[in-house]
Amino acid sequence: MKLFYTPLRDVVHKVQVVALETGTWDRMERIPTDPYTRAPAHVAANPLSRVPTLVTDEGQSIFGGPAIYEYLDALNSGPKLYPPPGPDRWDALRHMTLGDAIFDIAALRQNELKRPRALQSDAMMENWLATIGRALDALDREATSFRGFTVGLISIACGLMYLDKLKNQGSLPLDWRQARPQLAAWYEEFTKRPSFRPRDNAIAMR
Ligand SMILES: N[C@@H](CCC(=O)N[C@@H](CS)C(=O)NCC(=O)O)C(=O)O
């Protein structure tokens, strides 16, 4: 398989955690990719030029994180990251939506910050921060009932890790741990697994 993805400093992407946990990491040729350069090989596999993008051994392109993770989990002979249909699965999918939204909204905000100051929308920035805040508050209320190791919980942990990266580099005025002790305690334990250790060298993004 080929994986186009963007190893970054101070943050581990879900695709790494999922690949390690499903035992598929070493079966991938990993191609570090800045999606904004529109590299021809990446665009040929994914016209959206978004990472991650997976190309299977049969040459099939799979993109959109949740589709890639479900494919890798189908190859997984160990404990499944997607529970079978039933309440645990619906929780895992809901958690994935929340974790991915935290990541995606924070990434949107980062892109807005790259625009000239006069063109940036303060209202949009505030709205994005408020949405992330509501998601974090809901997760804090629920965190003591988080169980197991699902694709949804991986998504939440990776979303939180991205918030840390942005805060530490000074581009996000948000300390998500503040007043969210349950979520913080869960995160400390959950991210101790070896799959959360950075593996490939970070690439420089434009
Ligand atoms: N939640 C999405 C995230 C994918 C995504 O938005 N990737 C961004 C980088 S963080 C990207 O490739 N952007 C390139 C572009 O939009 O042109 C997924 O799981 O597929």
Q: For position 34, what pLDDT does the model report? A: 96
Do the beta carbons of residue 1 and residue 28 sit within 8 Å? yes
Regarding pTM above 0.85, the answer is yes
- Beta strand pairing status for 2-5 and 29-32? parallel
What the chain holds in terms of domains, given with CATH numbers, is 2-80 (3.40.30.10), 87-190 (1.20.1050.10)
CA of 51 to the centre of ligand 1 (A): 5
Determine the pLDDT at residue 206. 65
Please list the residues that pair with 191 across neighbouring strands: none
Question: 65: CA distance to ligand 1 center in Å?
Answer: 9
Mean pLDDT of each 10-residue bin along the chain, 206 residues long: 95 96 97 96 98 98 97 96 97 98 97 96 96 98 96 98 96 96 98 95 82
pLDDT at residue 205, as a whole number:
76
- Atom of ligand 1 minimally distant from the CA of 14: 19
